[in-house]
Structure 1
Amino acid sequence: MDSGFIDLDILLTRIRNAQSKVYFLDAVKAYKAGALRASMTSAWVALVYDLIAKYRELSALGDAAATAFLHSWDNATVAGDIAKLLQLEASILEDATANTQVVNRIARTHLERLREDRHLCAHPAFSAEAELFEPSAELVRLHLVNAVDLVLSREPLQGKAIFDLYDVDVQSSGFPTAYERILDYVEQRYLARVRAQNIRNFGTVLAKSLLKGVPAQWEPLHRKIVPSLVALRERAAQTWPDVSHAIVALIDNLAPEHRPRAIVFLAAFPDFWPLLLEPTRTALQMTVENADPAALADYRILAGVTLPHFRAGLLAVIAALDDEHLAEAITAQPLADLWPRAVASYAASSSFRGSEANFRDLIAPFSGRLSSQQLDQLLDAVIETGQNWDAAETDTLLLGVLRNATAADRPTPEARNRFYQHIRRRHRVGKYEDVLAFLRSDGWALPPPEPEPED
């Protein structure tokens, strides 16, 4: 941008902070009056003031680096420690680049020139020449434009602090758990006010967590980390190509022990599959085909069953799971492809207490996820055996699952009729009174009794 064509009065309107604008107005007035050294000095004062104001905004958002600098600055101000304040002023550009990252490295180069020229203007001792330093009008105007363009007009975008903030936040109870709310939250809190370079780095950190399990404290937070990365893909799309490139490189270079994680990652981000090297794809497919159902270290790998490249192999793994490992897999993630095994195992329960345990371990985790057809299968499984329909807690457990179904996903009238006729014949209508009342709440009516079957 050519500084010679910029109206300085219009430049003033771009300054965010009102007090910074007051200080910068002194620089503009001095420039127009021909007091070029005074203009340069006032521009530096406005710049330092604005950086401090930005630090206060970042500190309020939890930026530890900004808070640490302000602590030193405010303590020196209260104590009247001029030497310390001069030291902090001299180091503020370095701090703003290296620690808070309010200023990027290219901007720092331009602003350091402003600081050097300001010293020549304000301190004759800085000049080796016998005459006072006399900046040209073009040089001063350039510095004024740079000060506004590079700092005074900009929001205080977060830098490295984003990682520390996210680390604490994602482990807290205040971080959302619902998928859509996570997208909105991450966009507003972590993407809207962060430099593009740091957003790219943030995406790489999230991907490393999913692919390599680092940092360790994020391991239980898979269901928060995945939508956080989705938020970056959808709400910071301009940075996604660079993030994607880094992720592909990560997957192509994964150690063998991390390949199951790559399969889990691809289940959430299937668009990466065609971007991988052919040897990588082969290694991942062999990882699935050679998986031992009795020795799975991470049941999340079963999420890859949704991908055609892994489906046959993982369906074979699911079919080979014993009931104990099936329950562990469902606890890890109640995938739709685990439901047929779950409901079949529950239907075959062989004791009252075993039936109740099977319901809790194999059925209850699917609550809120079942379709009308699957709820039909559940009602049929309840009446499959006396160990199920006559177990003491079955009616309560069943009612809990039914209540979590959407109105569109409730059992069909045919399945309800079968269920009612069975418990009527078994004289258990009273036991299932609350279940029947709920099933009738959407207009279904009890069918007329069927004739008793002949012995």
Structure 2
Amino acid sequence: MSALVGQGLTDIDSLALAVRDPESKRLVGEALSAYRGGALRSAIVSTWIAVDYDIIAKAKELSAHGDAAATTFVQDIECAIQSRDVKKMQAIESVVLTTANEKLQLFAPHEFEDLSRLQKDRHLCAHPAFASEDALFQPTPELVRTHITHALKHLLVNAPLQGKSAIERFHADLLSPSFPVDEESIGTFVRAKYLDRAKDVMVVNLIKSLLSAPFGREAAQYMGQRHQVARTLREIAKAKTAIYDETAKDHVARKFDAIPDALLLSISAFVECDTRLWEWSPEPTRIRFRRLLQDADAETLKKHSAFDAFAIPELASILVGRFESFEQDVQIGIISQIPRREFITQAIRIYGDASGWRAAEQRGRVLMIPLAPLMNADDVRVMLEAVQENDQIWGASGTSAILETVFDATRSLLAQSRPHWQAFINARMLSSRDASSHYAYPALQQRLAASED
């Protein structure tokens, strides 16, 4: 049998093994047996029976998840069965493919066409009176194999994750408290539950919905979830790169200019996750965005995560200007809530200017600790020099705990930063003349010594 290539499977047997529903697997197995035995008409009829059954099984699965159209369809079937209404059952079966396409949205247009041809050929096989004696339908082995392959690839091996209901379920998961937050877990969750068996059309619609929902009528639901949506979109891009690149580029080019001013700055989180979104945006959108960025106050910038736009060089200069224009207390608030590498230099400068013990402790907690995971070895050096040069900082009782926390957060840098920590400890011990003195930072000494083991 010739190899069939699709969805990572190399032949028709592998496709058959991937059928989700046990009964559908048994039914398509009968079709394969008939095909291999040369009973070609029987093979087509059996293939249609597997399709018919699987559509109903998927409808029941969708109904269990609250899909209204699927529930109505299932109720109609059950009512006809209970009342033994043969005509109604025949009527339902005659349009089952159309129902699956239009109501349940299980198929892409070409898939519906392929399965419609199967249905027509099934009628010719099951009802030979439909054809004249001289034109009795004689399916070829190639045609039968094609029908079986289409049934498997377009329906039987797929989860019912197509259409509007699938998108709604995805967004319900995305906004739920249990949705994962780290990239690896997001990728695993999305692939396993939605992408691994999803058709291309569903992936396309999902990408469009993620690029639209935070900026449309339901934007309020996503106000605190923009980073979650952007990270999720990035994981979909990794799993379905070709589809994402084509779909996102087209959607952004056509739709982003329609985002209202009140929400436009909110694209920043998406731009940070994929800087190409800025390149793909229409020039009028970029002009509007730059103007809004130049005029926005601190609260607006924070509300819309606009500092994520540092990812775009031409926007970084605007953001630096906006940040530097704010009063120092406002800058401290921004840094503490949105720690970024771009703020480290100014944060250390503010910390180094502390004019009292309590101010030094407060600035250390809200500036140095949040920024510590983002520091490099040279940042650690500059910070320690600022501490050493200001007795209001090194003399504050809480500074020891602050530096210990920074040390722990920057352990990965010790190969480069150890000399800076050691120089600071040596200076403090020399100044204190007592290695056990609080102002010689004994706990920090112990951490540094232990790290050499």
Q: TM-score, normalised by structure 2?
A: 0.77
Give 2:431's match in structure 1, choosing from 425, 431, 441: 425
Aligned to 2:309: 304
Aligned to 1:148: 148
Q: Does the 8 A contact of 2:373 with 2:410 survive in 1?
A: yes
Shift, 1:159, TM fit: 0.9
Give 2:204's match in structure 1, choosing from 189, 200, 207: 200
Q: Does the 8 A contact of 1:47 with 1:147 survive in 2?
A: no
Aligned to 1:3: none
Aligned to 1:19: 26
- Residue 104 (str. 1) matches residue 108 (str. 2): yes
Percent identical pairs in the alignment equals: 19
1:234 alignment partner AA: K
Q: Does the 8 A contact of 1:210 with 1:222 survive in 2?
A: yes
Give 1:159's match in structure 2, choosing from 155, 158, 162: 162
Where do residues 51-450 of structure 1 align in structure 2 (5 Å cutoff)? 51-52=55-56, 64=67, 68=71, 72=75, 82-83=84-85, 89-90=93-94, 92-112=96-116, 114-115=118-119, 136-138=136-138, 144-145=144-145, 147-154=147-154, 155-157=157-159, 158-160=161-163, 161-209=165-213, 214-239=218-243, 240-293=245-298, 296=301, 298=303, 300-409=305-414, 411-422=417-428, 425-426=431-432, 429-431=436-438, 432-443=441-452
Secondary structure, in 3 states, of the residue corresponding to 1:411? helix
1:435 alignment partner AA: L
Shift, 1:226, TM fit: 1.8
Shift, 1:360, TM fit: 2.6
Shift, 1:32, TM fit: 2.9
2:368 alignment partner AA: I
1:394 alignment partner AA: T
Aligned CA distance change for structure 1 residues 106 and 414 (closer, same or farther; 3 Å): closer
Q: Which range moves more in the overlay, 197-206 or 392-401?
A: 392-401
Q: Does the 8 A contact of 1:289 with 1:313 survive in 2?
A: yes
2:448 alignment partner AA: L
CA RMSD of aligned residues (A): 4.1
Aligned CA distance change for structure 1 residues 71 and 254 (closer, same or farther; 3 Å): closer
Distance in 1 separating the partners of 2:27 and 2:199? 22
2:417 alignment partner AA: P
Aligned CA distance change for structure 1 residues 397 and 414 (closer, same or farther; 3 Å): closer
Q: Which range moves more in the overlay, 209-218 or 361-370?
A: 209-218
Q: Which range moves more in the overlay, 289-298 or 393-402?
A: 289-298
Distance in 1 separating the partners of 2:133 and 2:178? 57
Higher fraction of helix: 2
Q: Does the 8 A contact of 2:115 with 2:151 survive in 1?
A: no
Secondary structure, in 3 states, of the residue corresponding to 1:304? helix
Aligned CA distance change for structure 1 residues 438 and 184 (closer, same or farther; 3 Å): same
Distance in 2 separating the partners of 1:85 and 1:364? 69
Aligned length: 426
1:441 alignment partner AA: A
Aligned to 1:452: none
Shift, 1:110, TM fit: 4.9
Shift, 1:293, TM fit: 4.6
Aligned CA distance change for structure 1 residues 277 and 163 (closer, same or farther; 3 Å): closer
CA deviation vs aligned residue, 1:349-369 (integer Å, no higher than 9, x gap): 344443333223222222322
Aligned CA distance change for structure 1 residues 143 and 133 (closer, same or farther; 3 Å): farther
2:39 alignment partner AA: K
Shift, 1:200, TM fit: 1.5
